[in-house]
Structure 1
Amino acid sequence: MHDLPIKAVLDRLCATRSPRQLANDPLSFCHRYRDPLDREVAAVISSAFAYGAVGIILRTLESIFDHMGPSPRRYVECFQPERGLRDFNAFKHRFNDGRDLCALLWCIRLMIREAGNVEEFFLRGHDDSAPDVTESLNRYSTAALALDYSPLFGQESFPKSSSFPFLFPAPHSGSACKRLCMFLRWVARPADGIDLGIWRGISPSQLIIPVDTHIQRICGYLGFSGRRSADWRTAREITAALRRLDPFDPVRYDFALAHLGISEGCNGVDPAACAACPIAGICPQQGAITTIRKGL
C-alpha cells in the first residue's frame, strides 16, 4: 500500500463524519455549551471519564452535567468540597467514585485560580518547539497531581483507596494517555464541527493520537503499527504514520477511524461490516476475512 491512496481513502472517511457519530461520543457534551470557558471545563470532565463502554460513559457524563447546571465553569469556580462530597456521594464510574469526581472538580478550580484557565495551566509546562506533547503531558499530569487536595482527602498524599491519580496518567509511565490525548485533540484542533478549536497555544502538529481498542486494531490493520500493546510507543508510532499523510494535523483522522468501531460496528470479524466499510479498499483485514469465509 502507498501513502497517497491511503490518504485519499482516509480523507474521504473524514468527510463522512456525522452528527450521529458525535452524539455517540463524550465530546458531544462539550457542544452543549457556547462559551469556550464552559467547553474547556466540560472537555476536562468528559475526557477524564471516557473509559469503558460508550453507553456507560454517556450515562455517567449525563449525571454529572445535569447536576452542574447551565455553566460548568461557574460551577467549578464556586465548587465547595464539603457540599460536593454530599451531592456526589452515590457517584460511581467503574473504579472512580464521588470523591474522585470531587477531586477533579477541585483540581479544575485550582487550575483556574492559579492560571486563569486550564489552557494557561497546561502551557506552563508546554514547549512549543518540541516535536510532540510527550513532555508537556508529563509536566501537566505531575503539576495537576501536585495541587493541594487535602480539603478532599484530609491529608497531603492520596489515600490508597483513591483512584483519582488514574485521571492524570503520564507518558513516562508508558501509558498511552488515551483520555488526555483525546482532550488535547478536542481543544487544540481547529473547530470543524467535531473538535472545538478553543486552545491556541498548542500546534495540532504536536498532538498524539488517542489510542483505544478501536484505534489500535484498525491502525494495526492499516499497517500504521505492528505493536500489540496500547502504550505510548504505539501512540507515537501510529501518529508518525499519520503525520506522513498530514504533517500539520495528523490526528484529524482519529474521530473517523475510532467511530468505525464505536458507531459503525467494525470488529475485524464480521464479513458484512467489512463489506460495507468505507476503508475496505485499503484494509487487508477484509481480504483475510473473505479468505477465511471461503475456506469454511
Structure 2
Amino acid sequence: MKKSELKSFLDEKVDIYNNPNFIETDPIQIPHLFTLKEDIEIAGFLVATIAWGNRKSIINNGHRIMEMMGNSPYDFVMNFSEDRAASLSNFVHRTFNNDDLIYFLKSLQNIYKNHVGLENVFSKNAEIHSLQPAIHHFKKTFFELPHPSRIQKHISDPFKNSAAKRINMFLRWMVRNDNAGVDFGIWKSISPAILSCPLDVHCGNVARKLKLLKRKQNDGKALAELDIALRKLDPNDPVKYDFALFGLGVFERF
C-alpha cells in the first residue's frame, strides 16, 4: 500500500471510530462524567492507571472509584486524609489495591497543592518533539512522598524502555482536541503534535500488518518507531490514528 493510500485508509477509519459512540465502550467514559477541569484530570488519570485487562472490568471499577470519592474527585483529593482512607479499604483491580489507591490520592493532593496541578507537572518537562521525558519526570514527582516501593510499578517509565501505554492514553485524552466530543483537549500548554500513541497489543499488531512498525516488542523503542511513522501521516495530530489502529484491531479483527 502506498503512503497516500495508507493515509486515506487510516483517515477513513479515524472518521469511523473517533466519534461519541466510541465513548460507550471505552474507559474515557469515566472522565466524561465531569465538567470541572480538575475532576476530568483526576478521573482520567485514575481510570487510565487501572486500564489493563478486561475493558468491562476497567469501566466498572472506574465507576466504583468515582462513587467511593462521592463523584467529586477533585474535592475528595483536596480534602483527603487518613480518616477517609477507610472508605477505600475494599478496592482492588487486578494488582492495584486500596493501598495503591490511597497513595495515589495523597500524591495527587501533593501535586495540586504544591506543583500547580497535573498539567503543569507534565508541561514543564515536555520537550519539543516528545512527551516521554515529561512522563519520566512526572513519575519522580509522583513518588516524592514516602511510599512502599511496590507501588511504583503502576506508573511506567519511558527511560526504562517502557511504551507507557496508559499514561500516553491519559495524555491523549487531556491534550488532543478532536472536535468530535471524545478527547477533551483541556490542556492547552502541550501540543498534540508531540503526543505518542498508546501502544498496546491491538495497535502494535495492526501497525505491523500495515508496515508502520517493524519492532516485535511493544516497548519504548517500538513507540519511538511508531511515532515517526504516524507523524509522517499527520504531523499536527499523529495520535488520531490510535482510533484507527485500535478500531481495526478490536472491532474489525484486522
Q: Is this a same-fold pair by TM over 0.5?
A: yes
Cα separation, 2, equivalents of 1:30 and 1:234: 29
Aligned match for 1:247, one of 210, 227, 235: 235
Q: After the TM superposition, which of the residue ranges 69-78 and 179-188 deviates more from structure 2?
A: 69-78
Cα separation, 2, equivalents of 1:74 and 1:140: 22
- How many residue pairs align between the two structures? 252
Aligned match for 2:137, one of 136, 139, 149: 139
Aligned equivalent of 2:82: 81
Indicate how the Cα distance of structure 1 residues 34 and 168 shifts in structure 2: closer, same or farther if over 3 A, else same: same
Native 8 Å contact 1:145 1:168 kept in 2: no
Cα separation, 1, equivalents of 2:220 and 2:192: 18
1:177-214 Cα shifts (integer Å, max 9, x gaps)? 00011111110111421100010111111111110111
Cα separation, 2, equivalents of 1:45 and 1:183: 9
1:189-204 equivalences in 2 (<5 Å)? 189-192=176-179, 193-204=181-192
Q: What code does the residue aligned with 1:197 have? A: G
Cα separation, 1, equivalents of 2:235 and 2:12: 18
Aligned equivalent of 2:46: 45
Aligned equivalent of 2:204: 216
1:159-184 Cα shifts (integer Å, max 9, x gaps)? 5xx3x212221111111100011111
3-state SS of 2:38 partner:
helix
Aligned equivalent of 1:293: none
Q: What code does the residue aligned with 2:167 have? A: L
1:115-159 Cα shifts (integer Å, max 9, x gaps)? 2321112223233xx21112111111122112x2xxxxxxx3525
Q: Is 1:229 the equivalent of 2:229?
A: no
Indicate how the Cα distance of structure 1 residues 218 and 52 shifts in structure 2: closer, same or farther if over 3 A, else same: same
3-state SS of 1:16 partner:
helix
Aligned equivalent of 1:281: none
Rg comparison, structure with higher value: 1
Cα separation, 1, equivalents of 2:115 and 2:241: 32
Indicate how the Cα distance of structure 1 residues 157 and 92 shifts in structure 2: closer, same or farther if over 3 A, else same: closer
Cα separation, 1, equivalents of 2:153 and 2:147: 14
Q: Using the TM superposition, give the Cα deviation of residue 8 of structure 1 relative to its aligned residue in structure 2, in angstroms.
A: 0.9
Q: Using the TM superposition, give the Cα deviation of residue 265 of structure 1 relative to its aligned residue in structure 2, in angstroms.
A: 4.7
Q: Is 1:108 the equivalent of 2:108?
A: yes
Native 8 Å contact 2:135 2:158 kept in 1: yes
Indicate how the Cα distance of structure 1 residues 191 and 110 shifts in structure 2: closer, same or farther if over 3 A, else same: farther
Q: Is 1:180 the equivalent of 2:186?
A: no
Q: What code does the residue aligned with 2:64 have? A: S
Aligned equivalent of 2:2: 2
Q: Using the TM superposition, give the Cα deviation of residue 57 of structure 1 relative to its aligned residue in structure 2, in angstroms.
A: 0.7
In the alignment, structure 2 segments of 5+ residues that lack a partner are none
Cα separation, 1, equivalents of 2:201 and 2:6: 21
Q: Percent identity?
A: 29
3-state SS of 1:21 partner:
helix
In the alignment, structure 1 segments of 5+ residues that lack a partner are 149-155, 269-296
| TM-score, normalised via structure 1 length | 0.81
Native 8 Å contact 2:66 2:72 kept in 1: no
Cα separation, 1, equivalents of 2:195 and 2:65: 28
Q: Using the TM superposition, give the Cα deviation of residue 36 of structure 1 relative to its aligned residue in structure 2, in angstroms.
A: 1.7
Which stretches of structure 1, 4 residues or longer, exceed 6 Å deviation after superposition?
A: none
